[in-house]
Chains A and B, each alone.
Chain A
């Protein structure tokens, strides 16, 4: 595949909000679009660095999200704190493998996929790799897409806590773990947003 001509080569920049093309020469960090006054950059500034920061934050937050209980259920049959992995195991043992799988995908597979994918993207961009540029662009879109699906766990806990309030008979309360998990989702989404997919195609010497 012959490399396409890039705006960078032509000395052009484009406003990401209104699409106005501006001259790169006049462009500096923090420049603003003369038409819509939104920020205009050749590349997102410090994209890789910021993405990496968010990614590390997400990974750090993922540890307490899994260690701490996400939900506390109490009722006639006793009370229990459930963690994400504990809940998956419980469902699996109880025979509800479909639910276990769903929760596993939403709360374990997806975050890990994101960590690995964003990490891979960052690594290849840093290496200025030409490897599978198309596939990596697709990967980035997938990461963006699945980002909000990770909120499934948070929504489950929120709904359960809201609906299961029968005092003595049964009650569910969210626990700290779910806040961390929510933070993981938000932070990884921010990480994905900070990544500038245009850098996949950059051909810097």
Chain B
């Protein structure tokens, strides 16, 4: 390289083209400015999003971890536990948590906090994620206007942790059955909600809180009936086997179904009530309203095997109630053990009859009703245990008018009312047969047979006597009678002399009578002949001949 070995003079070197743009490199200062702006804006944003710090007191801080346990609203993290401390009196755990700024508006006086722990039920599993992730604090926003920073945490999660649109309903039932929280609520086999709470009321009945989701809560009307749809309903009816269940889940976890009740029973309520009765099954729910039950007591003297609690009580074939208790009583007077059957009756089930009675004021009070029942008893109203099915031997109680039954005194002042009873049809039949058999048993058969035997011997004797003496005599008599009849026959024969003589005499007598009549005619025509004697006078040829002939 000659160029390298010989340094060129300055002038020989080429000159670079010059462009002056002094301001361009200074643009680099934009970079730290932008970076600073971004950084500062982030800091401001962070500072702005810094939410409030709240304190919540719990009875137990089980599972809470500082810096890790989250506060969630609608399953979205809105905060984090900052500290966990004991309260001054060591009775509660005070948890402070930093919430995000957007959650601050949720903090009102009635905001609820609770610790979410796993809950496993038949119908539902909830909080399962907390098994691995640890517990978190649930939050339910309040509606109160008052702001609050200090809260008392709930020990149990509230029924609805966040409010989907819908309607909360209170259902009252004697028993909750197998209902559990989270059990589904069905409308025509379509799940429209679920059970959110169950409470035992101070009076021992159950209150079930159900939630029906928004588009479907319109199906809840004043006439709506709710019933417990748990389990399987199997009916063997005239149309075959009918198995009914709302869904497989209800078989396991229970459930509630509802539908429109009988429309004629609709009360003219302005709005939809929030309290309903929870019936035990669909049939009961769909029955017209029963009103309050009236209890009656019946004493049966016969054994009532097959009469169970819940057996129907029918009034002339209409189900108006059911048996609630079958008890064994004791009567000191005759040392007997009567069965005391208590039943509840729903007079309203009598339908039109009830309305008619109500119109007459018979159902106004217990007293008027008791008096009315008294008149019915006087007319022959009796309780009777009857066989519902020959196959199963189940019994039911029938209230029927049996005017033939003996009169009984009815005390209208006893509560519950006591209805007189008669033995059942089958028992009645049984008793008759027994009586018959007893009578047959009581018959003096030995005696009768002995007497009969004697009588037969006498008869035999008589007959033999008849045979030995009477019969020969009778034979002689008969032959004598025969000869008598013979001679009589002969005497009466046409050819017999007596007969002939009689005939002749009779014809003679006729001729004589003819002559007398002729004479009488003659005298009739000519009465003067009686005085003047007969005079010759012309007369028709025939007549003369006739008259001459008439006097042979």
Nearest-neighbor residue (CB-CB) of A10 within chain B: B10
CB atoms of A64 and B15 under 8 A apart: no
One of A27, A33, A34, A78 near B134 (C-beta < 8 A)? A78
* Residue A94 at the chain B interface, CB threshold 8 Å: no
Residues of chain B within 8 A (CB-CB) of A54 are 28, 31-32
One of A25, A45, A187 near B10 (C-beta < 8 A)? A25
Contact with B along A133-149 (1 / 0, CB 8 A): 00000000000000000
* Residue A77 at the chain B interface, CB threshold 8 Å: yes
**In the complex, how many angstroms separate the beta carbon of A34 from the nearest chain B beta carbon?**
4
Residues of chain B within 8 A (CB-CB) of A67 are 42, 46
CB neighbors of B among A46-69 (8 A):
46, 49-50, 53-54, 56-58, 60-61, 63-64, 67-68
* Residue B36 at the chain A interface, CB threshold 8 Å: yes
* Residue B441 at the chain A interface, CB threshold 8 Å: no
Stretch at the interface among B19-27, B155-163, B416-424, B542-550: B19-27
A63 to B39 CA separation, bound complex (whole angstroms): 7
* Residue B526 at the chain A interface, CB threshold 8 Å: no
Residues of chain B within 8 A (CB-CB) of A29 are 18-22
Residues of chain A within 8 A (CB-CB) of B32 are 53-54, 56-57, 60
Nearest-neighbor residue (CB-CB) of B46 within chain A: A67
Nearest-neighbor residue (CB-CB) of B18 within chain A: A28
In the assembled complex, 11 residue pairs joining A and B whose CB atoms fall closer than 8 Å, in A order, are: A13-B16, A22-B14, A22-B16, A26-B15, A27-B18, A28-B19, A34-B14, A40-B16, A45-B25, A56-B35, A68-B42
With A23-B10, A28-B20, A29-B21 known as contacts, the answer to whether A76 contacts B15 (CB < 8 A) is no
With A31-B16, A53-B28 known as contacts, the answer to whether A78 contacts B133 (CB < 8 A) is yes
A183 to B536 CA separation, bound complex (whole angstroms): 196
Residues of chain A within 8 A (CB-CB) of B132 are 76-78
With A57-B32, A77-B133 known as contacts, the answer to whether A31 contacts B13 (CB < 8 A) is no
A176 to B34 CA separation, bound complex (whole angstroms): 16
Residues of chain A within 8 A (CB-CB) of B26 are 46, 49
CB atoms of A11 and B10 under 8 A apart: yes
* Residue A32 at the chain B interface, CB threshold 8 Å: yes
Contact with B along A1-32 (1 / 0, CB 8 A): 00000000001110000000111011111111
Residues of chain A within 8 A (CB-CB) of B34 are 57
Nearest-neighbor residue (CB-CB) of A61 within chain B: B35
**In the complex, how many angstroms separate the beta carbon of B106 from the nearest chain A beta carbon?**
21
**In the complex, how many angstroms separate the beta carbon of A176 from the nearest chain B beta carbon?**
8
With A49-B26, A64-B42 known as contacts, the answer to whether A32 contacts B35 (CB < 8 A) is no
CB neighbors of A among B1-56 (8 A):
10-11, 13-22, 25-26, 28-29, 31-32, 34-36, 38-39, 42-43, 46
With A45-B25, A60-B35, A76-B132 known as contacts, the answer to whether A31 contacts B68 (CB < 8 A) is no
CB atoms of A22 and B35 under 8 A apart: no
**In the complex, how many angstroms separate the beta carbon of A195 from the nearest chain B beta carbon?**
12
Instruction: Tell me the interface secondary structure of chain B in the complex.
Output: helix
Nearest-neighbor residue (CB-CB) of A50 within chain B: B28
CB atoms of A49 and B25 under 8 A apart: yes
CB atoms of A64 and B38 under 8 A apart: yes
**In the complex, how many angstroms separate the beta carbon of B335 from the nearest chain A beta carbon?**
76
A192 to B416 CA separation, bound complex (whole angstroms): 105
Residues of chain B within 8 A (CB-CB) of A57 are 31-32, 34-35
A45 to B18 CA separation, bound complex (whole angstroms): 13
Nearest-neighbor residue (CB-CB) of A29 within chain B: B20
Residues of chain A within 8 A (CB-CB) of B20 are 28-30
Residues of chain B within 8 A (CB-CB) of A79 are 133
A90 to B43 CA separation, bound complex (whole angstroms): 25
Residues of chain A within 8 A (CB-CB) of B46 are 67
With A11-B10, A60-B32, A187-B31 known as contacts, the answer to whether A30 contacts B39 (CB < 8 A) is no
A204 to B271 CA separation, bound complex (whole angstroms): 97
One of A13, A22, A78 near B68 (C-beta < 8 A)? A78
- Beyond known contacts A33-B16, A60-B35, A63-B39: 8 more, CB 8 A cutoff: A21-B13, A27-B15, A31-B16, A34-B15, A56-B35, A61-B39, A77-B133, A78-B132
Across chains A and B, which 3 residue pairs bring their CB atoms closest together, nearest first? A26-B15, A28-B18, A31-B16
A78 to B43 CA separation, bound complex (whole angstroms): 27
A61 to B18 CA separation, bound complex (whole angstroms): 36
**In the complex, how many angstroms separate the beta carbon of A145 from the nearest chain B beta carbon?**
23
A42 to B21 CA separation, bound complex (whole angstroms): 15
Nearest-neighbor residue (CB-CB) of B131 within chain A: A76
**In the complex, how many angstroms separate the beta carbon of B527 from the nearest chain A beta carbon?**
161
CB neighbors of B among A173-193 (8 A):
176, 183, 187
Contact with A along B422-450 (1 / 0, CB 8 A): 00000000000000000000000000000
A53 to B14 CA separation, bound complex (whole angstroms): 34
CB atoms of B25 and A46 under 8 A apart: yes
A45 to B132 CA separation, bound complex (whole angstroms): 60
CB atoms of B133 and A32 under 8 A apart: no
Nearest-neighbor residue (CB-CB) of B29 within chain A: A53
A12 to B32 CA separation, bound complex (whole angstroms): 35
**In the complex, how many angstroms separate the beta carbon of A21 from the nearest chain B beta carbon?**
7
**In the complex, how many angstroms separate the beta carbon of A37 from the nearest chain B beta carbon?**
9
Contact with B along A114-131 (1 / 0, CB 8 A): 000000000000000000
Residues of chain A within 8 A (CB-CB) of B129 are 76
**In the complex, how many angstroms separate the beta carbon of B200 from the nearest chain A beta carbon?**
37
With A53-B31, A56-B32, A77-B133 known as contacts, the answer to whether A32 contacts B17 (CB < 8 A) is yes
CB atoms of B13 and A50 under 8 A apart: no
A33 to B14 CA separation, bound complex (whole angstroms): 9
A125 to B68 CA separation, bound complex (whole angstroms): 50
Residues of chain A within 8 A (CB-CB) of B19 are 28-32
A80 to B77 CA separation, bound complex (whole angstroms): 12
Nearest-neighbor residue (CB-CB) of A47 within chain B: B25
A96 to B70 CA separation, bound complex (whole angstroms): 27
CB atoms of B13 and A23 under 8 A apart: yes
Nearest-neighbor residue (CB-CB) of B136 within chain A: A78
Residues of chain B within 8 A (CB-CB) of A64 are 38-39, 42-43
Residues of chain B within 8 A (CB-CB) of A30 are 18-21
Nearest-neighbor residue (CB-CB) of B38 within chain A: A64
**In the complex, how many angstroms separate the beta carbon of B299 from the nearest chain A beta carbon?**
69
A61 to B31 CA separation, bound complex (whole angstroms): 10
Residues of chain B within 8 A (CB-CB) of A78 are 68, 132-134
**In the complex, how many angstroms separate the beta carbon of B158 from the nearest chain A beta carbon?**
24
A118 to B46 CA separation, bound complex (whole angstroms): 31
**In the complex, how many angstroms separate the beta carbon of B75 from the nearest chain A beta carbon?**
13
Q: Which of B11, B18, B46, B132 counts the most A-chain CB atoms under 10 A from its CB?
A: B18
Residues of chain A within 8 A (CB-CB) of B17 are 31-32, 34
Residues of chain A within 8 A (CB-CB) of B15 are 22-23, 25-27, 34
Residues of chain A within 8 A (CB-CB) of B16 are 13, 22, 26-28, 31-34, 40
**In the complex, how many angstroms separate the beta carbon of B81 from the nearest chain A beta carbon?**
13
